[in-house]
Structure 1
Amino acid sequence: MLNKLGLSGHGEAKVEYLDGDFRIISPGAYVLCAVTGERIPLEQLSLWSVDRQEAYATPQIALERTFPNAAKKKA
């Protein structure tokens, strides 16, 4: 569950990504997508990798990051 105390702040939050949850280490309003650099508001954060400790803006980006050669095989 989202740590509501972490929503204070206006910059980038530092987050520890857990299985099915995340913990806010340093308060902020957003995290950055590991692939695109897009800002993801904490209240919209739903995709991340526990192993890589990184967030993703969209399901497509997460899929491409996890399986980088999958799209190339279809072409």
Structure 2
Amino acid sequence: MLMSTSDKAARLYYGPASFRVLRPGQHVVCAVTGEIIPLDELRYWSAELQEAYASAEIATRRLLGRA
């Protein structure tokens, strides 16, 4: 069975102010919680670590080393 783009996670390159889609998909996965984040709701990521985060709180905890 073929998976549609909506079933697959996107692969992104995270830049300092935006991201670039490397492999199409509808979502990414939070690096800390495993929560699915729809691309149109993605607001928090680390360009240095190349990770996505579900919320500002999670991103802050991760970047301060407490996640």
Normalised by the shorter chain, which TM-score bucket? 0.7 to 0.9
Residue segments in structure 2 that go unaligned for 5+ positions in a row: none
Q: Which residue of 2 aligns with 1:9?
A: 5
Question: Which consecutive residues of structure 1, in runs of 5 or more, have no partner in the other structure?
Answer: 1-7, 70-75
Cα deviation, 1:17-68, whole Å, max 9, x if unaligned, reads: 0111000000000000000000000000010000000000011100100113
Normalising to structure 2: TM-score of the pair?
Answer: 0.87
RMSD, aligned CA: 1.3
**Higher helix share goes to which structure?**
1
Aligned residues: 62
The two structures have a TM-score, normalised by structure 1, of: 0.78
Counterpart position of 1:21: 18
